[in-house]
Amino acid sequence: MPVGERLQRAVKRVRDFHDATGYQRLFSEPLIPASGLSERELRELEAEVGAELPAEYRLFLQSWRYLIVMTGYHVWGVGSEPRPRVCTEHVEGRRLLSCGDLWFEADGDDLVLDLDDPAAPALVWLHDYQELRPFAESFSLAICKVVEYLLNPEDLEISVQCTRQDVELALLPWWKRFLRRPS
């Protein structure tokens, strides 16, 4: 499947989820912006990070300025905080682009792309472990993986009339949900 189509399908699933659950009404900012970045804005972002953006991430930003799937699962871009940034502290000698939140283990885990090796997989920085791990073969496949993981209705058990707290609780790993239940 072409990268653009893969991204379109993933974002459509997110939009359908937001529509079905009313998740958007919990936020003042749009979770999925109506437009992407212009070529000028893309060049400005590249100047800001000091590097050419990876091709799939650049393609994503041409259609959507950023993407908020759920709390703790964002693709950063322009128009929402935080913004993408180059991190040299994760692995000495490698320029890595932190471009999203992936709170699988804890808040502060980031989606990371290797700026020096365009063929490198999408990575996740697990800040509690101070460890970089492979996450998916590419940026677009990373987005699909996040969407599949989060929006599997059998796992989430989220109703149409849910609150932000309900959604956040449903997204916690099972053992964290267990610890939060009142006795």
Domain enclosing residue 51, as ranges: 3-154
**36-86 tens-digit pLDDT:** 999 999 999 999 999 999 999 999 999 999 999 988 899 999 988 888 988
| Closest by CA position to 41, among listed 55, 53, 56 | 53
Pairwise CA distance, residues 72 & 70, whole Å: 6
Write the CATH number for 105. 3.40.1580
Residue 159 lies in a domain: no
- pLDDT value of residue 21: 85
Residue 138 lies in a domain: yes
Residue indicated by tokens 């267990």: 178
Residue type, 131: E
Phi, psi of 58 (to 5 degrees): -60, -45
Residue 168 lies in a domain: no
What's the structural domain count of the chain? 1
Residue 174 lies in a domain: no
Residue 54 lies in a domain: yes
Residue 136 lies in a domain: yes
**145-166 tens-digit pLDDT:** 888 888 764 544 444 444 556 5
Q: Is pLDDT at 98 greater than 50 in this prediction?
A: yes
How does DSSP classify residue 92? T
Per-residue pLDDT band for 174 (boundaries 50, 70, 90) equals very low
pTM: predicted TM-score of the whole model, two decimal places? 0.80
- pLDDT value of residue 156: 41
Residue 165 lies in a domain: no
Residue 162 lies in a domain: no
Stated as kind and residue range, the H or E segment containing 8 is helix 3-21
Pairwise CA distance, residues 121 & 155, whole Å: 27
